[in-house]
Structure 1
Amino acid sequence: MNKLRTTIDMKPQATTTTLPLTSYQKFIIFILAITQFSVILDFMVMSPLGDMLMKSMDLQPRQFGIAVSAYAFSAGVSGLLTAGFADKFDLKKLLLFFYTGFVIATFFCGMAHTYPLLVTARIITGLFGGVIGSISMAIITDLFAPEQRGRVLGFVQMGFGASQVLGIPISLHIANLWGWQAPFLMVAALGAIIAACILFFMQSITGHLAIQRDRSAFRHLLHTVSQKQYRIGFTATALLSIGGFMMMPFSSAFAINNLGINTTQLEQLFMVAGIASLVIMPFIGRLSDKMDKFTIFTIASVWMMIMVVIYTNLSITPLWQVMILNVLMMMGIMSRMIPSTALATSLPEIQDRGAFMSINSSLQQIAGGVAAVVGGMIVTQQSKAHPLEHYNTLGWVVCGVTLLCIFMVYRVSVLVKQKAAARQQM
């Protein structure tokens, strides 16, 4: 391990050559990627299971919105409170502690048979799961040289795409066979294997402990929040998350009860959306490097608003049309993420970047929780057999939030351009 860290430290400026990855580094990448896959799947699967859960527990949309937001709120708060403290401990022990807690809480989600128990289990799952992403980033920083991190992040972020393309359709399939609890038990079983691999095969990660920091993590977070330009970025992130997440928890219930899609077709619908994301995201990423990022964001936002209005006003519709319209709507939703994220990461100074990203990530979770609660207050359903009501109203609210978001991202874009111009003059 010391030899690995010495090799990394001796070559921090070799940016023109590609450092090969050792077998141990490849193992770490795999562990972090599969960990990311399980955490994202646990969070994302609530949306496609929405109709099944609501009917099984006889829940109103408002109650289901609270169940979804419980994870998001606790994950956001947990990530915010623990941001920066990862540097104080052995990262292996920290990852093992929080991931074990996540696995146990996910198991209890699968065992919950009442609404209060489910909400409690989701809160505990969020408390542990919300920290894992920041610990993974700290591990990557500690074990990989700067010229390796792009490749590493690319592999680790594949967990998101894999959860969409493989995880959600498989989860829906086993839920249709054995009930809505089965996907959570599947994630818990997978997580138990991952935790065992972390325990027995991952080495201690303590290189960061040798670096002394004068400012406490809490003071650094307060300093970051006090910066006006950063607060503009945080507001833009919150609005982006609210607009993107408000409809998501009720998407499966809307597809089944309003569009006439059955549970088998729902698996196909989510798989097509996941494959589309794998195709669209890299294309938008390349486009964002060539064009003005705010221009791309604005075009994508306007496109999303048009498709949201069309989609939320649909009634019984053939599956192939639903798939096309859903993909077109997802194009707008996803195409906003890359340019806005690129702008946000360009906003903080290098010494504030870690704290900024920790706060930004936590705000995404919290804003998603707010969106789920508000969405549940707007959408209603008379009974299990009736279609959702006011889902189109939710679409108009999303459009209003998106307009505000365009304005805030414009302000972020102006700040980023001013910062770039100031650097050129130096």
Structure 2
Amino acid sequence: MKLKKIAPHPQHEIRYILILAAIQIVNVIDFVIMMPLGPTLMDGLSITPPQFSTLISSYSFSGAIIGFIFGMFADKYDRKNLLIITMIGFIVTTLGCGLSNSFTTLLTMRTLTGVFAGTLTTIVFALVSDLIPFERRGKAMGIIMSSFSVASVLGVPLGLAIADATNWQNSFHFIVLISIPILLLIILTFPNVFIEKENETNMVKDLKVLFTKSKNTISFLLIFCVSGSMFLLIPFLSTYAVKNIEVDTTDLKWAYMVGGVFTIITSRIIGICTDKFGGFKVFFALVMFSTVPILWFTHSGPLSLSGFLALQTFFMTTVSGRLIPVMTLISEVPKPEERGLFMGMLNSVRALGRGIMTFLSGFVITTTATGKLIGYGTAGIISISIALITILFAYTIASKVSSQYQKVSI
């Protein structure tokens, strides 16, 4: 495979990186903002926990399916044109979310938005590899990966503030408004990126080979369970906070802002520890340590605002932090020539794990006549149980991967 018509000047690289990072920021805001809007949506649209979990999971399901399909033909077309078409679809469907006034309409729009959002993520990471030389690609990836923290600190709180001041639909209109300038920048400044394959490969054969390797299969099981264990709980964090911990809906934005700031700090620390002590050791420690905030949060009663902020920050930093050593471990699994297909499948499996567990959480968690959630503590115990099982998967991967950077003993 070789690239054609790609010769970005080094001074243009930062422009491309920042635009790609901006795409990821609006993408993350669009996904994450649904969860803190949970209490408002459940009351405003009169929907049940199973219906709310369906709203969240539909986004992940469609993203997982399209990620798998898109990987089969993504290299056949100009990436700039694919990016423009996908960005337009993302903007239109997000606008549709903002125009929705019923559960059915919103569900349809969220499912369609997930299709375009999942495709955007795939194109963004492909373009980083296409446009940025290997010697500078690590820094570029770091900027792109920081999008979640930036979205948590700035985008989600601002979107929630707009919802508090007006209505929940305007949170999606806000995403549309900040996405349109990004689309214009793509059209006006991005280069065309063509991929020419020297030898066409058999996708079915490649997939068969991929899944016959035990370390690949275990990696998929690991990311499915790690992502799934998180999303048994995350979609109902805000709803539980409002209904059971008795936090005001207008204070939820502070939880995401404070949690996002601390996540930026702890992610850096966890990354350094992973390099120093090995992915398995850090993952093992985080799984065990995260049981504390999970049990505490899912069984908590009324708290002061400061107590809630401290608890949710503790939860966010430890639970989400588990992904850093996991991805470090898994990155050592595929051979260079199969990495593209492997990572595409990994992202689809990760989204599938989010979708399935989010959907199931709606049937574990129910509401009382007064609106309080029950069963969240049970979901917390299930989440911890799944996380403990992932330790075995992580140990197996660390044992199979022969690398001087991975230390397996504990």
| 2:358 aligned with 1:372 | yes
Which residue in the other structure is 1:95 paired with? 83
In structure 2, give the amino acid aligned to 1:391: Y
| 2:10 aligned with 1:22 | yes
Partners in 1 of 2:166 and 2:266 — Cα distance?
33
Partners in 2 of 1:219 and 1:125 — Cα distance?
31
Over 3 Å counting, the alpha-carbon distance change for 1:286 and 1:84 in structure 2 is farther
Partners in 1 of 2:27 and 2:207 — Cα distance?
25
- Return the offset for 1:313: 0.8
Partners in 2 of 1:94 and 1:386 — Cα distance?
44
Deviates most, 283-292 or 402-411: 402-411
**Contact in 2 for aligned 1:304/1:330 (Cα 8 Å):** no
- Return the offset for 1:32: 0.4
Provide TM-score, normalisation by structure 2: 0.94
**Contact in 2 for aligned 1:80/1:362 (Cα 8 Å):** yes
- Return the offset for 1:122: 0.7
Partners in 1 of 2:38 and 2:4 — Cα distance?
49
| 2:177 aligned with 1:189 | yes
Which residue in the other structure is 1:340 paired with? 326
- Return the offset for 1:22: 2.7
In structure 2, give the amino acid aligned to 1:51: P
In structure 1, give the amino acid aligned to 2:175: V
**Contact in 1 for aligned 2:128/2:137 (Cα 8 Å):** yes
| 2:315 aligned with 1:324 | no
Aligned with 1:83: secondary structure? helix
Which of 24, 30, 34 aligns to 1:46? It is 34
Provide TM-score, normalisation by structure 1: 0.91
Which residue in the other structure is 1:236 paired with? 222
Which residue in the other structure is 1:77 paired with? 65
**Residues 389-404 of structure 1: pairs in structure 2 closer than 5 A:** 389-404=374-389
In structure 2, give the amino acid aligned to 1:79: G
In structure 2, give the amino acid aligned to 1:324: A
Which residue in the other structure is 2:393 paired with? 408
**Residues 140-219 of structure 1: pairs in structure 2 closer than 5 A:** 140-206=128-194, 208-209=195-196, 211-219=197-205
Partners in 2 of 1:275 and 1:117 — Cα distance?
34
**Contact in 2 for aligned 1:378/1:393 (Cα 8 Å):** yes
Over 3 Å counting, the alpha-carbon distance change for 1:351 and 1:260 in structure 2 is same
In structure 2, give the amino acid aligned to 1:239: C
- Return the offset for 1:23: 3.2
**Contact in 2 for aligned 1:47/1:251 (Cα 8 Å):** yes
| 2:48 aligned with 1:63 | no
| 2:223 aligned with 1:273 | no
Aligned with 1:107: secondary structure? helix
Count of matched residue positions in the alignment of Structure 1 and Structure 2: 403
Which residue in the other structure is 1:353 paired with? 339
Over 3 Å counting, the alpha-carbon distance change for 1:3 and 1:250 in structure 2 is closer
Which of 386, 394, 399 aligns to 2:371? It is 386
Partners in 1 of 2:321 and 2:130 — Cα distance?
31
**Contact in 1 for aligned 2:6/2:193 (Cα 8 Å):** no
Q: Mind listing any 5+ residue stretches in structure 2 that lack a counterpart?
A: 406-410
Partners in 2 of 1:199 and 1:4 — Cα distance?
16
Deviates most, 385-394 or 51-60: 385-394
**Contact in 1 for aligned 2:6/2:191 (Cα 8 Å):** no
Which residue in the other structure is 2:408 paired with? none
Q: Mind listing any 5+ residue stretches in structure 1 that lack a counterpart?
A: 9-20, 422-426
Which residue in the other structure is 1:424 paired with? none
Percent of pairs with identical residues: 27
In structure 1, give the amino acid aligned to 2:251: Q
